[in-house]
Amino acid sequence: MTRATRAVIDLAAFRHNLQISRQAAPHSKQLAIIKAHAYGHGMIHAAQALDEADGFGVAILEEAIALREAGISKPIILLEGFASAADLNLIRGYRLDCVIHHVSQVEILEQASGTPIPVWLKIDTGMHRLGFPPHQANEMYQRLMSCPAVQKPLRLMTHFANADDPDDNTTEQQIKTFYESFDFDAENGADCDCSLANSAGILGWPASHAQWVRPGIMLYGVTPFMHGTGKDYSLQPVMTLQAELIAVNRFNKGDAIGYGGSWICPEEMPIGVVAIGYGDGYPRHAQSGTPVLVNGQRCQIVGRVSMDMVTVDLRNQPNAEVGDEVILWGNGLPVEEVASSAGTIAYELLCGVTNRVRFEYINQV
Ligand SMILES: *Cc1c(COP(=O)(O)O)cnc(C)c1O
């Protein structure tokens, strides 16, 4: 018997969520962000399901190459650009766009010859991670414009630091800083395409939409904001993580459950054992009380999560049996809720499902 633990990936939900992004930013092109195995969902399947996107964004060269080898022909953007001159031939060969965020990259391009490469000049408007400070924006723009190895026109971008918080005005400030960085009018009419918005920008800051938006987490059905769930924006969860009960046992009042005996039965009660653990990517830090669905009904995990198993309070599912289905997150149980019970964010949980879990792709078109 093979283990029932699996991640069911609903490809129709991908398409639906992309539509939501299009409706929110109807005048922008959609650069679907599918880095890190499409946030743990399977990058090639995601790219195929999202074939109505205008392009794809990935973090590293290996991801971009895997997409091209799988026959994906849309524009692909390397969000961190390249690290060395040796990468340029691969970038040309695979027809990749590069984000240029550091002077070391500009210097490499200034030395380069050959077919011009499409580039996105990245300005750091307050995130303070990648990008040129606003006072260098014009200089870098001019330097790239002078490079024969760079395709014209350039494209311009920035990234938001606090857009997940609708009450934080940093985002408005970042939008303003971005457009003021250039001594031409990048916002209206210049022939440079601009891209500012991640999912939170798309849903929360219409002023950030510009020519290209970069939806990530929302494509997976998850809210980009610190509170609420994807459902608030009519998003549908793409991944449902599920497993089965492999044991149901009765314990007495006072019995301690699992490693460290951290949870004590308050009365005589049934405890279910679910075949999933941190070895599968279920978070070890999920606290007692974290919800799961047993046969579609909400129950709570109790005691510590172990590598291969989780224990569940079955008092509101007294008839549950070995073999019954348990949903850890996804349909009927927002991953956002599990993340907050585990002291993390949904992004991390989705990215963290390990390859011991079987992935099943449904609703292929
Ligand atoms: C990951 C990433 C995104 C997508 O962000 P979400 O919050 O998942 O929408 C957009 N732009 C860049 C540069 C990124 O690295």
| Span 160-178, pLDDT tens digits | 999 999 999 999 999 999 9
Nearest to 125 by CA among 164, 179, 81: 179
Ligand 1 pocket mutation pick from 28, 209, 214 by most atoms within 8 angstroms of CB:
214
Q: What is the DSSP letter of 260?
A: G
What's the pLDDT at 1?
A: 61
What's the pLDDT at 240?
A: 98
Asked if residue 345 is part of any domain, the answer here is yes
Which of the listed residues 193, 224, 255 is the one where a domain comes to its end? 224
Active site residues: 35, 259
Asked if residue 3 is part of any domain, the answer here is no
What's the pLDDT at 189?
A: 66
- 217 CB less than 6 Å from ligand 1? yes
Which residue's CA lies nearest to atom 10 of ligand 1?
A: 198
- 198 CB less than 6 Å from ligand 1? yes
Nearest to 311 by CA among 300, 322, 296, 298: 300
What's the pLDDT at 188?
A: 87
109, two tokens: 């391009």
In a shared domain, residues 17 and 128 = yes
Residue 154's domain spans which residues?
A: 11-224
Q: CA end-to-end span of the chain, whole Å?
A: 30
What is the pairing mode between strands 193-195 and 155-157? Answer: parallel
Tens-place pLDDT, residues 82-110: 999 999 999 999 999 999 999 999 999 99
Ligand 1 pocket mutation pick from 60, 122, 198 by most atoms within 8 angstroms of CB:
198
- 131 CB less than 6 Å from ligand 1? no
Q: Which domain CATH number covers 248?
A: 2.40.37.10
What's the pLDDT at 147?
A: 98
- 30 CB less than 6 Å from ligand 1? no
- 3-state secondary structure at position 248: strand
In a shared domain, residues 219 and 249 = no
**How far, in Å, is the centroid of ligand 1 from the Cα of 225?**
13
What's the pLDDT at 261?
A: 96
In a shared domain, residues 98 and 214 = yes
Helices (H), 102-198: 103-111, 137-145, 170-180
Atom of ligand 1 lying closest to residue 79 CA: 13
Residue segments in the chain with a per-residue pLDDT below the cut of 50: none
**Cα–Cα distance measured from residue 181 to residue 13, given in angstroms and rounded to the nearest whole number:** 38
236, two tokens: 């549908």
In a shared domain, residues 20 and 149 = yes
156, two tokens: 């311009």
DSSP result, 81-110: --SSTTHHHHHHHTTEEEEE-SHHHHHHHH
In a shared domain, residues 342 and 215 = no
What's the pLDDT at 55?
A: 98
pTM for the model stands at 0.97
Atom of ligand 1 lying closest to residue 214 CA: 10
In a shared domain, residues 90 and 181 = yes
In a shared domain, residues 319 and 254 = yes
**Cα–Cα distance measured from residue 240 to residue 332, given in angstroms and rounded to the nearest whole number:** 9
In a shared domain, residues 206 and 308 = no
Q: What is the DSSP letter of 299?
A: E
**How far, in Å, is the centroid of ligand 1 from the Cα of 216?**
5
